[in-house]
Amino acid sequence: MGGWFTFENFPLTLTAVLVVWSWFSFFSVILFG
């Protein structure tokens, strides 16, 4: 995991984390809401 989590790839990593978190929140609202 440390191979792709570099300072140059930080914007891409941050974008991926935000996308995954938004999908997780979306499904949480559907399943538990």
Query: pLDDT tens digits for the chain (33 residues)?
Result: 566 667 788 889 899 999 999 999 999 999 998
- Overall number of domains in the chain: 1
Local structure of 16: helix, strand or coil: helix
Question: How far is residue 33's CA from residue 16's CA, in Å, rounded to a whole number?
Answer: 25
Q: What pLDDT shows up at residue 22?
A: 98
Question: How far is residue 19's CA from residue 12's CA, in Å, rounded to a whole number?
Answer: 11
State the Cα torsion 31-16-13-32 to the nearest 10°: -10
Domain that holds residue 13: 1-33
pTM equals 0.59
Length of the chain: 33
